[in-house]
Amino acid sequence: MSVADLPRSWPQPEPEALELSERLAASLRERIAASDDGWMPFDTWMEAALYTPGLGYYAGGAAKFGGAGDFVTAPVVSPLFAWTLARDVARILRAGGDTVLEFGPGDGQLCVELLQELAELDALPEHYLLLERSASLRARQEEALQALPEEVRRRVYWLDAPPQDKVRGVILANEVADALPVRRFQRTEDGVLELGVELADDGGFRWGTRARDDLAGHVAALETVLGRRLQPGYESEYHQQLPGWINVLSDSLHWGICLVIDYGYPRDEYYHPQRRQGTLMCHYRHRAHPDPFLLPGLQDITAFVDFTAMAEVGQEAGMDVLGYTAQAHYLMGAGITQVLEARMRAADEAASLRLSQQAKTLMLPGEMGERFQVLGLGRGCEEALAGFSMYNRLERL
């Protein structure tokens, strides 16, 4: 889809950005045309649209977070998120941890605010590791870190790959798993078809289907676990890369805890009969929509996360499943009410009002409170996480 397909009320891309998108689209057209059957699996499309060097959404230099970007994350919404999370991180560091490893650190805001709060709590880690492959995002993180004192900033190191020496402490993955490329499928009367991308008559892109035995096998296994057959016409996603990603988290953790925070559902809810179109979602300039072919490279493409699958893989990898709950309940258990009250007492009226509004965005069910979920995995750590003390919904997984 081209810029002509944008609704008139939506912001138009800058000429430079549009040129990069057109280059990426041309590359994708060439790849599809050169394939044996004129078709590209959707996970291949998603990988290219997000991560092609210099052209993909996460590999380019455009703003992605906040008002000038395409979406907001909890750390961007309010420092309350990091201030509250710091309470549980400090518990693990005091119990024997020395390192925090953050996967996909975005614009660096969580790192900065978490370290500032850990300094206030006298619980700074020896090392704060940022696993970031995007040069443009790393530059933004380096800029954000200038807000930290030198004695704190020097604890931060960047990694291009998971650490060779396993971490003792805390691994954080906030809104990372939703950007893992997914395979899409469609249940029919006769079987299962894989949804992919083919060229449209106008030179754009459209959905196309192919029979793929391996994906059909995965869906059959899923239906066995669910105890029901998906209805004809049902479309959804299979997170083929999710087990490997959880195993990377496990392989990186020697002792401590791992917190995965993202939007998603337990398996039964993920593949609910009423969720017939799956969970695929795109974000362009704070407009959420379902069209992954719009302006390749200029929009985020995501899919909700199957938290049951993550918990199962984590357990198989030797980690303990410590907790699962909604973001609102996790923050309540971790002490956001007390943090908010203390900060409001120290702030003027305008700042207090802003913090109150930000807390609502983080906590209300119609905002981030119920849509985002928190999964806690651990290894060898007996320190209880306060975030799961109020509502631990492990039975839902």
Angle between helices 80-94 and 327-334 (to 10 degrees): 60
- Look at residue 376 and give its three-state secondary structure: strand
Find tokens 């120290």 and name the residue.
346
User: What Å distances lie between residue 35 and 39, 163, 182, 385, CA to CA?
Assistant: 7, 36, 20, 50
Q: Under 8 Å CB-to-CB from 391, ≥6 apart: which residues?
A: 325, 326, 329, 332, 333
**Which domains, ranges and CATH numbers included, belong to the chain?**
74-179+242-270+304-396 (3.40.50.12710)
Residue 247, class by beta-carbon neighbours within 10 Å (0-12 exposed, 13-18 middle, 19+ buried)? middle
Task: Copy the structure tokens of residue 262.
Answer: 């993202």
112 three-state secondary structure: helix
**Residue 215 Rama label (left phi>0; alpha psi -120 to 50; beta):** alpha
The 3-state DSSP class for residue 322 equals strand
Give DSSP secondary structure letters for 269-318. Answer: HHT-TT-TT-S-EEEETTEEES-TTSSTTSSEEE--EEHHHHHHHHHHTT
pLDDT per residue rounded down to tens, the chain (397 residues): 566 678 888 888 899 989 999 999 999 999 999 999 999 999 999 999 999 999 999 887 554 444 455 567 899 999 999 999 999 999 999 999 999 999 999 999 999 999 999 999 999 999 999 999 888 889 999 999 999 999 999 999 999 999 999 999 999 999 999 999 999 999 999 999 999 999 999 889 999 999 999 999 999 999 999 999 999 999 999 999 999 999 999 999 999 999 999 999 999 999 999 999 999 999 998 888 999 999 999 999 999 999 999 999 999 999 999 999 999 999 999 999 999 999 999 999 999 999 999 999 999 998 999 999 999 999 999 999 999 999 999 999 9
Amino acid at 28: L
Instruction: Identify the burial level of 47 via C-beta atoms within 10 angstroms of its C-beta, where 0-12 means exposed, 13-18 middle and 19 or more buried.
Output: middle
The CA distance from 100 to 171, in Å, is 6
Q: How far apart are CA 359 and CA 111, in angstroms?
A: 19
What is the b/e burial string over 365-386, where b = at least 16 CB atoms within 10 angstroms of the residue's CB? eeebbebbbbbbbbbebebebb
Which residues is 196 bridged to in the sheet?
Answer: 41, 208
* Contact status, residue 243 vs residue 309, Cβ threshold 8 Å: yes
Residue type, 145: L
User: How far is it, in rounded angstroms, from Cα 341 to Cα 344?
Assistant: 5
Query: Which two structure tokens, joined as six digits, stand for 258?
Result: 């791992």
Beta bridge partners of 276: none
